[in-house]
């Protein structure tokens, strides 16, 4: 038996007076930028679409421990410098939150803390304070007494978010919700909320590494393609305004299997290092492990290499990974990945300063990619000297970059590893191992 205290929530969906909805000419709709509160961090503004929109409901999802509370405390401090922030913590005590804030140097007088789980009390506090920003950490700890089920259940999470949404719109207060996602993508988590909220941001990154990526996957007030990049350190997070530089700083140049590719994230090209390891394995079932890249993409690329370059991976484990915990979702990194596998298999490092851009088709052809010029500019800006790109690309060529057009993966291999490989010919192992 379980005892429930039922306190029926007041119906806050008030019957609105019937007003005839009027259609207006599209051209007469004004493009006022809403009321946005800009934060000190450009990286945060970028993912939010330019700042925090009044009355918006924003979900910040991520695995436990990735840094959601840390990021939001930084945001609270930036708003709390000049305004009022209500930080509702259902997970940590006031002391714990204070300790974190102290460590982040975020103890702004404008930040109010409420340690509370009850939705009615939370809504009352938001109404009473009317802050410039309200943060609920986390939505899984909030319970609406008007509904059955424990905190974190699908009903509770959905109903609480629905009520907070109406409140945000009614009084124009932006509300940020923290939502934990577990590795297996737990059901009662943020997925249920994605349809309700205005904006969905996911904080990604390996807990053991520095880099954190805040990725917009839905945004009613901006692009849903943008990412913000941060680094976790001793004193919390820092924004990383030039992620390519940060990613390349740790690159292992001239190691066989290491290739630099340009992945486009939103409007911004990122130079990232892709690594492969091909290892003979005669004993057991071979493995294909991909970190930061879709494993199906890897299977496809291996198949193309087997068919077009007569390579053989039947008795090899293949591991690929993207540095810095970045996840590459676009096919423009295909060719780079293919060359990194070739490079490691034949133990031949890629030439210094080379960037590889191109999608790979099933017949080994190199396909054109979008926004090539942007990617080339980023490469030139970071001191790379040579680029392999798809043939027929019309992009302008930045100065200082030697651009080589390639039509097939075989051509790309010849261009990347000049001396012992005959142009156009497929490569055989013995030929390559002679250096
Ligand atoms: P936290 O924001 O509590 O994660 P979440 O709210 O997503 O569960 O971050 C927890 C991790 O961040 C923890 O592993 C320690 C690390 N961390 C730092 O490395 N430096 C810091 O200054 C802070 C506050 C946390
Ligand atoms: Mg937390």
| CB distance 90 to 116 below 8 Å | yes
Pocket of ligand 1 (CB under 6 A): 62, 64-70, 100, 103-104, 207, 232, 235-236
Return the ligand number nearest the Cα of 140.
Answer: 2
β partners of residue 265: 268
For CA atoms 361, 295, 379, 243, give the dihedral sign: positive
Joined tokens for residue 430: 């013995």
- For ligand 1, atom 15, which residue shows the shortest CA distance? 65
For the CA of 235, the nearest atom of ligand 1: 22
Inter-CA distances, 416 with 25, 135, 258, 280, 353, Å: 56, 51, 12, 24, 11
Of 209, 241, 428, 251, residue with least CA distance to 349? 251
CB neighbours (10 Å) of residue 63?
Answer: 17
- For ligand 1, atom 11, which residue shows the shortest CA distance? 65
Burial classification of residue 171, based on how many CB atoms lie within 10 Å of its CB (0-12 exposed, 13-18 middle, 19 or more buried): middle
Return the ligand number nearest the Cα of 209.
Answer: 1
CA of 409 to the centre of ligand 1 (A): 43
Choose one of 201, 232, 238 to mutate for the ligand 1 pocket test, by most ligand atoms within 8 angstroms of C-beta.
232
CA of 99 to the centre of ligand 2 (A): 13
Of 188, 230, 184, residue with least CA distance to 209? 230
Upper half-sphere CA count for residue 387 (Cβ side, 13 Å): 32
The kind and range of the H/E element at 262 are strand 258-265
Return the ligand number nearest the Cα of 65.
Answer: 1
Cα dihedral value 239, 78, 222, 242, nearest 10: -20
C-alpha 179/C-alpha 200 separation (Å) is: 10
Q: Would strands 211-219 and 227-233 be described as parallel, antiparallel, or unpaired?
A: antiparallel
CA of 269 to the centre of ligand 1 (A): 28
β partners of residue 279: 317
- For ligand 1, atom 13, which residue shows the shortest CA distance? 65
Note if the bond before 138 is cis, omega within 30 degrees. Answer: yes
Choose one of 65, 77, 177 to mutate for the ligand 1 pocket test, by most ligand atoms within 8 angstroms of C-beta.
65
Return the ligand number nearest the Cα of 102.
Answer: 1
Please report which residue ranges of 214-282 form alpha helices under DSSP H: 243-249
Choose one of 64, 67, 99, 135 to mutate for the ligand 1 pocket test, by most ligand atoms within 8 angstroms of C-beta.
67
Per-position pLDDT tens, the chain of length 435: 877 666 655 555 454 555 667 888 888 877 665 678 899 999 999 999 999 999 999 999 998 899 999 999 999 999 999 999 999 999 899 999 999 999 999 999 999 999 999 999 999 999 999 999 999 998 999 999 888 888 888 888 999 999 999 999 999 999 999 998 876 655 556 778 899 999 999 998 877 788 899 999 999 988 888 889 999 988 899 999 888 888 888 777 678 999 999 998 877 899 999 999 999 998 889 999 999 999 999 999 999 999 999 999 999 999 999 988 788 989 999 999 999 999 999 989 999 899 999 999 999 999 999 999 999 999 999 999 999 999 998 878 888 899 999 999 999 999 998 765 443 344 444 444 433
CA of 183 to the centre of ligand 2 (A): 16
CA of 109 to the centre of ligand 2 (A): 21
């Amino acid at each position: 038996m379980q005892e429930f205290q039922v306190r029926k929530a007041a119906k806050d969906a008030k019957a609105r007076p019937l007003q005839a909805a009027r259609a207006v000419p599209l051209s007469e709709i004004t493009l006022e930028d809403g009321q946005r509160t800009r934060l000190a961090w450009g990286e945060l503004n970028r993912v939010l679409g330019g700042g925090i929109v009044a009355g918006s409901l924003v979900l910040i999802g991520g695995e436990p421990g990735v840094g959601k509370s840390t990021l939001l405390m930084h945001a609270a401090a930036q708003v709390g410098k000049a305004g009022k922030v209500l930080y509702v913590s259902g997970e940590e005590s006031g002391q714990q939150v204070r300790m974190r804030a102290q460590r982040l140097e975020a103890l702004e007088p404008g930040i109010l803390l409420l340690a509370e789980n009850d939705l009615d009390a939370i809504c009352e506090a938001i109404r009473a304070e009317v802050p410039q920003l309200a943060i609920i950490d986390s939505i899984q700890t909030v319970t609406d007494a008007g509904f059955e089920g424990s905190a974190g259940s699908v009903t509770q999470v959905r109903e609480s978010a629905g009520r907070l949404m109406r409140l945000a719109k009614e009084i124009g207060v932006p509300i940020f919700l923290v939502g934990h996602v577990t590795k297996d993508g737990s059901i009662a988590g943020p997925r249920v909320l994605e349809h309700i909220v205005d904006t969905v941001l996911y904080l990604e990154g390996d807990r053991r590494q520095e880099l954190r990526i805040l990725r917009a996957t839905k945004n009613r007030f901006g692009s849903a393609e943008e990412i913000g990049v941060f680094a976790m350190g001793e004193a919390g997070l820092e924004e990383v305004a030039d992620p390519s530089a940060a990613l390349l700083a740790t690159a292992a140049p001239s190691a066989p299997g290491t290739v630099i590719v340009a992945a486009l994230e939103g409007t911004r090209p990122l130079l990232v290092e892709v690594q492969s390891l091909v290892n003979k394995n005669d004993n057991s079932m071979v493995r294909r492990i991909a970190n930061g890249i879709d494993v199906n993409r890897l299977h496809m690329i291996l198949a193309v290499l087997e068919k077009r370059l007569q390579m053989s991976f039947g008795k090899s484990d293949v591991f690929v990974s993207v540095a810095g915990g970045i996840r590459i979702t676009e096919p423009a990194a295909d060719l780079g990945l293919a060359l990194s596998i070739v490079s490691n298999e034949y133990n031949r490092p890629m030439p210094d300063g080379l960037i590889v851009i191109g999608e790979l088709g099933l017949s080994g052809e190199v396909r054109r990619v979008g926004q090539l010029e942007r990617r080339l500019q980023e490469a030139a800006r970071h001191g790379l000297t040579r680029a392999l790109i798809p043939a027929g690309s019309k992009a302008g060529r930045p100065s200082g970059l030697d651009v080589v057009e390639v039509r097939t993966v075989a051509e790309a291999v010849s261009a990347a590893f000049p001396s012992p490989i005959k142009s156009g010919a497929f490569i055989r192992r013995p030929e390559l191992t002679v250096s």
